[in-house]
Amino acid sequence: MPVPATSRDGRPVAKGHATRENGCPFLQPTGMISVTINGERRQFDAPINCAELIARLDLAGKRVALERNGEIVPRGRHAEERLADGDRLEIVVAVGGG
């Protein structure tokens, strides 16, 4: 027997109404997070860690400094430091030159 669709607060949704399950593009899927990176809002389908973020931004292998909510995240903690909805990040890439 199919499970009836419910709203975010658990109430049943009338047949034909928009739900995540029937593909409504305006409803935010559970787990989606929104973070601010260098002043720009970005959304991700699911929570990610700092290392995954750096890879998604094509910064893997570069000399990067990452600040999360006002605190520096040491490079050795990038893989274990999970981002949360509403986090504010500043990312600086070191540029060499002569």
What does the block give as tokens for 41?
A: 């809002």
Q: Judge contact between 45 and 29, C-beta under 8 A.
A: yes
Domain holding 2, by residue range, is 1-30
Going from the C-alpha of 57 to that of each of 25, 64, 88, the distances in angstroms are: 24, 11, 16
On the question of pLDDT at 24 being above 70, the answer is: no
CATH number of the domain to which 71 belongs: 3.10.20.30
35 burial type by CB count under 10 A (0-12 exposed, 13-18 middle, 19+ buried): buried
Same domain, 88 and 42: yes
Q: Are residue 37 and residue 62 in the same domain, yes or no?
A: yes
Q: Confirm whether 78 is domain-assigned.
A: yes
Residues 23 and 41 in one domain: no
Average pLDDT for 5-13:
57
User: 72 and 88, same structural domain?
Assistant: yes
* Number of domains the chain contains: 2
Mean pLDDT of the chain: 82
pLDDT tens, residue by residue, 40-85: 999 999 999 999 999 999 999 999 999 999 999 999 999 999 999 9
What is the DSSP pairing of strand 71-72 with strand 64-68? Answer: antiparallel
The answer to whether residues 22 and 64 belong to one domain is no
CA 52 to chain centre: 10
Do 26 and 39 fall within a single domain?
no
Kindly state whether residue 98 falls inside one of the protein's structural domains.
no
Instruction: Tell whether 45 and 70 lie within a shared domain.
Output: yes
79: helix, strand or coil: coil
